[in-house]
Chains A and B, each alone.
Chain A
Amino acid sequence: MRRFIAFGIVAVGILLTPVIASAATATTTISSQVSSVISLSTSGTVNINVTPAGAGVQTIANDTVTVSTNDTAGYTLQLGETSSGTTLLSGSNTIAASTGTQTTPIVETAGTWGYRVDGIGGFGSGPTSGASNAAISGSIKFAGVAASGSPNTIKTTSTTATNDTLSVWYGVAVDTSQPSGTYTNSVTYTATAN
């Protein structure tokens, strides 16, 4: 009887061995290629309406720029003019670009406009806050937006980023000598992987 049972166990073992062996050696490789992406989001238009008064007033408004990338190299965000013009234009009337630069920004004078980003270049840490028809600030400094061919770098990162936000402030200062009208200028944000 014992011999019979032992024989049975050995027989079943031999029969199952290939099954077990094949199950143990079967492998499946799961492969997935995740593509790199970079996203750039903005408000589309920054309204900087201003009603002139006295020796001059200033309106400051911001645009929130959001960048995301899964590229481990990080990204660089730049700001420059869209075309060759640097002034805010309304027909033949203009509001000149600030003569300040990102490294050496200046306070605005009546009849100028510019941008600033807290904490970069020579802008200082701020924090900047919005203003509408306020007295021209003697301490908040602005720069003219760089030409389209040589945009200024306003942020760079070294690795991936998810919904990285940056406030870019735009300011316009005018006095009552500025002709009324709708003044516009177009700027371009550029986001590329590093």
Chain B
Amino acid sequence: MMQRQKRIYLRTLALPVAILLVGLGLSSAHATAATATPAQSITISPTSIDQSVQPGSTNIGSFEIINSGTTNYTFHVYATPYGVTGENYNPDFTKLPGAADITNWFHFSTTSAQVGVHQVVTVNYTIKVPVGTIAKGYYAVAFAQTQPMTDSKTGVVITDRVGEIFYLRVAGNAHQGGKLLTWQVSFLQKPPVTPVVRIEDYGAYNFPSTVTVHIKNLFGRTVYSVNTTKQILPQTIRRIALPWSSSTSIGIFKVSGTAVFLNHTYQLPNKYVLVLSPTVRLLLIGLVVLIVLAIIYRLYRRRRSKAHGKYGARR
């Protein structure tokens, strides 16, 4: 009897499941079609360079521009200053107060070139560091920027630019220094769980810092690990947030990690996090309200029955 019921149940389920699977298949095909190769695509490699240079020296190098789109285009090459604003390191490509403009140190082998579909163009550059340059860090970006397509000019015309950041440390009598300021993991969080490290550079040069964070569940299993290396610029504080984008809606987790910079490893101590999504919080509040109402109702009924009992006794 049980077997028969099971078979009927499976048959009933088979059709909707099949429709669902076909639907999923079609939706994935649709998604594939939607993510077809875009018209305009520009790639630069490498994304940054961190090097020590001598005053009066000439340094050479190159970067590659790759066209992975479906149309040929012309791109322009130029350099801009590079700086950041705020602890979140919002990039700024204008000359910030107090910062040096080193764009005149750069010379490119080409300032404009055409790149065909799936072709690579190598741009050579020369960086001439003037004699007598003060020892400290200097920063700039070399941009490759697409030129607007000429065959369609209606509405908003898009140009794209990608850049290689140059972190140049001019050698000399200058100091390098930094410290870990804070390791913040709030106990109560909504998804995504976001551990935050703040690092200060109080020296004259930038330095790379590698931050690793592990998030474990209550059973000790690692559910998320992230490792990132970011540059810290002189006389700034960088806030490095490492959100776990696929956090669960509810749970208790242990967060720990390390921050490595200037030949020192800082242990980021264990912190516990209670994750409650807004929906879960609403449900919990609703549950608490229901329990309170139930208790009040029970007390009310108990008093009422007691009162009835008294009246009954009097009668």
- Which residue numbers of A lie inside 8 Å of B, CB to CB? 35-49, 61, 63-64, 66, 69, 71-74, 76, 78, 82, 88, 149-150, 153, 156, 158-159, 163, 165, 170, 172, 182-194
A38 to B40, Cβ gap below 8 A? no
- Residues 219-258 of chain B, each 1 if its beta carbon lies under 8 Å from chain A, else 0: 0000000111111000000001111000000000000000
Q: Is B41 an interface residue (CB 8 A)?
A: yes
Does the CB pair B40–A193 fall under 8 Å? no
On chain B, the residues within 8 Å of A158 by CB distance are: 226, 228, 240-243
B78 within 8 A of A: no
Judge whether A46 and B156 touch: CB under 8 Å.
Answer: yes
State in angstroms the CA–CA spacing of A156 and B156 once bound together.
23
Give the number of residue pairs across the A-B interface with Cβ within 8 Å. 172
Cβ of A37: which chain B residues have Cβ within 8 Å of it? 43-47, 66
List 19 contacting pairs A-B, 8 Å CB cutoff, sorted by A: A35-B45, A36-B45, A37-B44, A38-B45, A40-B42, A41-B160, A42-B40, A44-B40, A45-B148, A45-B152, A45-B158, A47-B152, A48-B156, A71-B47, A78-B91, A88-B155, A158-B226, A186-B158, A192-B141
Chain B contacts for A38, CB-based, 8 A: 43-45, 47, 162
B: residues with CB less than 8 A from A are: 35, 38-48, 66, 68-69, 71, 88-94, 141, 143, 145, 148-149, 152-163, 165, 226-231, 240-243
Which secondary structure characterizes the binding site on chain B?
Answer: strand
The one of B88, B154, B226 that contacts A45, using a Cβ cutoff of 8 Å: B154
Given A153-B90, A186-B157: A44 in contact with B47 (beta carbons within 8 A) = no
List the A residue with the shortest CB-CB distance to B240.
A158
Is the beta-carbon distance between A72 and B228 smaller than 8 angstroms?
yes
Contacts of B240 in A (CB 8 A): 158
Chain A, Cβ-Cβ closest to B149: A44
Q: Given contacts A40-B162, A41-B41, A189-B161, is CB(A46)–CB(B47) below 8 Å?
A: no
Chain B residues positioned under 8 Å from A71 (CB to CB): 47-48
Other than the given A74-B228, A194-B230, 16 more pairs (CB < 8 A) read A35-B45, A37-B45, A43-B40, A44-B40, A48-B155, A158-B242, A158-B243, A159-B242, A170-B156, A184-B154, A185-B156, A186-B148, A186-B157, A187-B159, A190-B93, A192-B141
Q: Which residue of B lies closest to A172 (CB)?
A: B155
Residue of B with least CB distance to A193 = B47
Whether the pair A42, B158 counts as a contact (CB closer than 8 A) is: yes
In the complex, the chain B residue whose C-beta lies closest to that of A40 is B160
Chain B residues positioned under 8 Å from A172 (CB to CB): 155
Q: How far is the CB of B10 from chain A (nearest CB, A)?
A: 38
Closest Cβ–Cβ distance, residue A151 to chain B (whole Å):
8
Interchain CB contact under 8 A, A46 and B158? yes
Q: Smallest CB-CB separation from A83: which chain B residue?
A: B159
Q: Which B residues are CB-close (under 8 A) to A150?
A: 92, 94
Contact: A190 with B94, CB < 8 Å? Answer: no
Closest to B157 in A: A186
Task: Return chain B residues, CB-CB under 8 Å to A43.
Answer: 38-40, 158
Are A184 and B156 also in contact (CB < 8 A) when A39-B43, A44-B71 are?
A: yes
Chain B residues lying within 8 Å of A41, measured Cβ to Cβ, are: 38, 40-42, 68-69, 160
Measured CA separation A45–B146 after assembly (Å): 12
The residues of B that contact A61 with a CB separation of less than 8 Å are 155
Q: How far is the CA of A1 from the CA of B161 in the complex (A)?
A: 84
Q: Which of B38, B43, B88, B161 has the most CB atoms of chain A within a 10 A radius of its CB?
A: B38
Q: Considering the chains assembled together, what is the distance between the CA atoms of A49 and B153 in angstroms?
A: 12
A44 in contact with B158 (CB, 8 Å) = yes
Which residues on the A side are within 8 Å of B46 (C-beta)? 35-37
Q: Which residues of A contact B48 (CB under 8 A)?
A: 36, 71, 73, 193
